[in-house]
Structure 1
Amino acid sequence: MKLFDLIYPHYKTVSLIGMAKNAGKTMVLNHIIEEAIENNVKIGLTSTGRDGEREDIVTKTEKPTIYVERGTIIATAKDLLLKCEAKVEILEVTPYTTSLGEVIIGKVRSCGLIQLAGPDVNAYMKDVANKMLSYGAAIVLIDGAIDRKSVASPWIADAAILSTGAVISRNVEVVKNETIHQVELFQLEEVKCENLKKVAAEIYERKGYAIVDKNGSVEELSIKTALNSGTIIGSAINGDSKFVILSGSLVERVITHIMDVCPYYKNVTFIVQDSTKIFIDRRSWRAFKGRGIKVKVLHPIKILAVTTNPYAPEGYFFEPQGFLQHMRQALSPISVIDVKLEE
C-alpha cells in the first residue's frame, strides 16, 4: 500500500518526525504533497521548525525545497511568508508569535515554493491545525523539527510518520536498533482501566505526581522541581503501591534515583501522558527494562509508517532495496516505505 493511502481518508492531522537531521523527512513531505495533488486532495502544511529554505541556516548544506499547488492552506511565520515564491492570500493572522513574526494562515493562489515555520507550543500548534482544517484542508501535515518529537503527541496529531536513515550511523544495525527503540517507545501499552485513566488525566491537568495503591487510593506528591523528583517519588513508593503517575518528562535520572532509594520499584507501573514525554536512550531503556521497570501511557501514538532514506549527507549510503527489506523485517508489521522507490 502506498504511503498516501495509509493517510487519506483515514486521518485529519499527521505529524512527520525525523530520527535525525537529513533522515529524509522533507522528502517524505514532498512525496505526500505530490500524491495529494494527484488525488485532488487539499492539504494544510505547517512546521514546528523552519522548513523549505534552500540552505540549512545551521549546517549551510543544501535542503529540499517545498513546492505547493494552488489551493494549499499553509501556516507560517510572517517573515517567511514574504520569502514564499508562491502567491498566498492571507486568511488569518493568529495571536501566536515566533522569532520570525506572527504565525499567519494563508491560501496559496498561485503555485510555487514556500517556507514554513509554525508555532512551537503544543497548544498553539493544535489550534493552528484545527484552523487549517476549518479553512478547507482535508489533511494537515505537521513537519516536526529535530528533537521536537512532542508534535507526534496524540493530543496534536491523529497519527505520525517516522523517518529514519543512513544519517544515523554508517552501521546498518545501529540504524535498525535505534529505530526499533523509537518505535517501541511510540507503541508503549495504553492504560486500559477507565478509573485509572480518569485519575491520571486529573493529575496531568494539575501537572502533578501521584501514587495509586492496590486499593485505588491516590496519594498526590508535592514536587516543586524535577531536580530531586526521583528521590521524592522513590521514597513515597511502598509495598502496596501499584501505579506511579508522572507529569512532565520521564528521564534517566528520575528512574535511577527511584531505583536507588526504593526496594519496591519492580512492583509498580509508571504512567506517562504519552511516549513523547520519555527521553531515555536505547541502552539505558534496555537496562531499565532488564531491571524490571514497567511504563505505560495514557494516550498511545499511532505510527502509520516508517520511511527510510539510505543516503547520508557525508557521502556514504546503503543499497536502497536491501536497506528497505532489512528495516521491513525488523519493524514488521509496521509499514516501512522508501518514497523514492515507491515513485
Structure 2
Amino acid sequence: MQLLDLIKEQYKIISIIGMSKNAGKTTTLNEIISEAYEEDIPIGISSIGRDGESLDIVTETEKPKIWVSENTYVATAQSLLLLSDANVEIMMTTNYRTPLGEVVIGKVRSAGYIQLAGPQTLKEMKKVSEDMLNLGAKFVIIDGSLDRKSQAAPAISDATILATGAAISRDLNRVVEETLHTISLLRLKKVENKYENILKSLLEESTIAIVDEDFKIERLKYKTALGMGREISEHIKENSRYLLIPGSLVKSTISELLSSTHHYKNLTIAVSDGTKIFIPPKDYLHFLRMGLKLEVVYPINLIGVTVNPYSPYGYYFEPEELLKKMKSYIKDIPVIDIMIGG
C-alpha cells in the first residue's frame, strides 16, 4: 500500500505528527511527495516549526532533507529559500512573521532540497493551507516538529498520519506500548452531542469551566489547570457532568483531582483534542481503573501509522519484526514501513 492511497481524493489537509524527534516524519513526507510526483499530482507542504535542515541543532544528528518536485507548493520563511537548492517562484506573501522572516508561498519550478518554517499559529497555518489549495494544490501536508503535536488539531487538518519508530527507545516493547498509548489518546471519543456547542464556545474563550447536567456553566478563574487540581476539585459537584480544560492536561492535575473529590466518578474531563493530553501509559491506565473519563471536543481522524526501525543514535530493530509487532496490535488502520513497504 502507498501512503498516497490513504489521502488522494479523500482529504485536503493532512498532518504528519511524530512520537518523538527522528521518528520518521520527514521520511514520511518525502515519500508522499515522491508518490504524488509519480502520479503528477501537485501538492502543498509546510511545517509548524523548522524542518529540512541537514543537521539537527538539538541532537547534532543527521536529518533527512526535504526533497520537493516541480509544481509542489511550499509555505516557508522567505530567508530559507536562499538556503534551498530548489528553484522556487514566490506566488504570494502572507504577512505572517517567524523568527526566520515572513512566510511566503511559492511554487517549485525545478526540483531540489528545501527547508521549511511555516506559520507559528494554528489559525495562520489553516489560512496558508487554504491559500495553497486555492493556488492549485490537490492537498496539503503539514509537517510537525519535536513535541508539537498541536498540528494534528482538527482546526487545521482533516486527517492525520502518525510516525513512530526506534528513536523512542532501544526497547521494542516500549516503542509499541508508547505508540499504542498515543493512538488511544488521538482517537478518544467526542463529547456528547447535547453538550458539544457549549463546550466549543467555552474552548474559544480559553476558559476552564464546569457544565452541569442542566447545562449551567461555572467559569473558573484559573488561567491554567497546571498545579490547580485541588482548587478545581472544590467546584465539582454531584451534578457536574463536564470539566473543560482548554490547555494541556497532565498527570499531576489528574492526580490532584482524583484525590480531592469523589464526584469525579460522575464527571467527564473534556479537552480540545487528544494532542493536549500528556499522561504516561501506566499512569493513564491507573486513572482509567479509578474511573477517569476523558473525551474530546474535536476528534482526530487518524488514517495511518508509519514505522521507522532505524534510530540516529546508532541502533535499529529488525524492520520485519517491528512492522509485524505493530500490525499485531494495530488492526483497523494501515501500518506502513516506508523503506520495506507493507
Q: Which bracket does the TM-score occupy, shorter chain normalised?
A: over 0.9
CA contact (8 A) 1:13 1:158 kept: yes
Deviation at 1:19, TM superposition (A): 0.7
Match of 2:130 in 1: 130
Deviation at 1:228, TM superposition (A): 4.6
CA distance in 2, matches of 1:57, 1:273: 31
Match of 1:262 in 2: 261
CA distance in 1, matches of 2:241, 2:62: 52
Structure 1 pair 32–224 and aligned structure 2 pair: CA distance change class (3 A): closer
Deviation at 1:173, TM superposition (A): 0.7
CA contact (8 A) 1:235 1:258 kept: no
CA distance in 2, matches of 1:109, 1:2: 26
Range with greater deviation from structure 2 (18-27 or 239-248):
239-248
CA distance in 2, matches of 1:63, 1:28: 13
CA contact (8 A) 2:62 2:312 kept: no
Match of 1:79 in 2: 79
Structure 1 pair 79–335 and aligned structure 2 pair: CA distance change class (3 A): same
CA contact (8 A) 2:226 2:250 kept: no
Match of 2:213 in 1: 214
Match of 1:333 in 2: 332
Q: Secondary structure at the match of 1:32?
A: helix
TM-score with structure 1 setting the length: 0.96
Q: Cα deviations across residues 96-140 of structure 1 (Å, max 9, x unaligned)?
A: 111111111111111111111111211111111111111111111
Q: Cα deviations across residues 252-310 of structure 1 (Å, max 9, x unaligned)?
A: 22212212321211211111111111122222212211211100011100111110111
Q: Secondary structure at the match of 1:314?
A: coil
Q: Superposed, which structure 2 residues align to 1:185-196 within 5 Å?
A: 185-193=185-193, 195-196=194-195
Match of 1:115 in 2: 115
CA distance in 1, matches of 2:143, 2:92: 20
- 1:310 maps to a residue whose letter is P
Structure 1 pair 227–322 and aligned structure 2 pair: CA distance change class (3 A): closer
Q: Secondary structure at the match of 2:339?
A: helix
CA distance in 1, matches of 2:21, 2:215: 44
Identity of aligned residues (%): 47
CA contact (8 A) 1:243 1:268 kept: yes
CA contact (8 A) 2:225 2:249 kept: no
CA distance in 2, matches of 1:59, 1:203: 39
Match of 1:300 in 2: 299
- Quote the RMSD (CA, aligned, Å): 1.5
Deviation at 1:229, TM superposition (A): 3.2
Q: Superposed, which structure 2 residues align to 1:263-302 within 5 Å?
A: 263-302=262-301
Q: Which runs of 5+ in 2 are unaligned?
A: none
Structure 1 pair 50–261 and aligned structure 2 pair: CA distance change class (3 A): same
Q: Secondary structure at the match of 1:45?
A: strand
Deviation at 1:227, TM superposition (A): 4.7
Match of 1:33 in 2: 33
Q: Superposed, which structure 2 residues align to 1:99-114 within 5 Å?
A: 99-114=99-114
CA distance in 2, matches of 1:218, 1:100: 43
- 1:89 maps to a residue whose letter is E
Q: Secondary structure at the match of 1:236?
A: coil
CA contact (8 A) 1:164 1:308 kept: yes
- 1:14 maps to a residue whose letter is I
Q: Cα deviations across residues 308-339 of structure 1 (Å, max 9, x unaligned)?
A: 11111222211111210110111111210001
Q: Cα deviations across residues 153-178 of structure 1 (Å, max 9, x unaligned)?
A: 01111111111111111111100000
Structure 1 pair 147–274 and aligned structure 2 pair: CA distance change class (3 A): same
- 2:124 maps to a residue whose letter is Y
- 1:163 maps to a residue whose letter is A
CA contact (8 A) 2:4 2:36 kept: yes
- Is 1:179 the counterpart of 2:148 in the alignment? no
CA distance in 1, matches of 2:255, 2:44: 42
Q: Secondary structure at the match of 2:108?
A: strand
- Is 1:91 the counterpart of 2:91 in the alignment? yes
Match of 1:342 in 2: 341
- 1:297 maps to a residue whose letter is V
Deviation at 1:141, TM superposition (A): 0.6
- 2:279 maps to a residue whose letter is I
Match of 1:315 in 2: 314
Range with greater deviation from structure 2 (137-146 or 44-53):
44-53
- Is 1:233 the counterpart of 2:232 in the alignment? yes
Deviation at 1:148, TM superposition (A): 0.2
